[in-house]
Structure 1
Amino acid sequence: MAIIFLCSITILGNGAQAQEPSAASSFKEIGAAIAFSIAAAAAAIGMGQIGSTGISVLAEKPEMLSKVLMILLFVEAIAIYGLVLAFLILLG
């Protein structure tokens, strides 16, 4: 996922420029890709663990659906924070 993000940022970022990319812009793109990939990996691990536990909780207590969904939304927010951070790195 980070490789796709890095390639798309490189293509979109350098497509409008006619000159050779500088080292600073390359490091910004690599930093943004690393920030997003770490956040996405952490969110994926958390969602996997919480999702499997949430399914077993819902099998026993179906009334806990809203609490399980809220916890999953909090974990997914980590990936959104990583995406926002990546865009802040690229635009800053």
Structure 2
Amino acid sequence: MTTQEELEYFYYYASQKLSSGDREFSLRELFNQWQARSSDSAIHQTDLAAIRASLEDLNQGESGQDADVVINKLRQQFNTTS
């Protein structure tokens, strides 16, 4: 049975892949990558801790930055367009 935590973890993983510019995959391939990665419990626990910390930041009023703004800053910093 799928839990809310699993859905949040997959959403976080998918968002990170997309924001990194890695868009050469289907939804099924993305799911398979996530599933293979999430089978490593040490990585899974580290990622879950990061998600929980981010959610706590949101609950405390931290709004973060828009992903497009961050990506553009990184592109400028590393002098890249893709």
TM-score computed with the length of structure 1 as normaliser: 0.34
Q: Which has the higher contact order (CA 8 A, sep 6+)?
A: 1
Between Structure 1 and Structure 2, which shows a larger proportion of helix residues? 1
Structure 1 or 2, whichever has the larger Rg, is 1
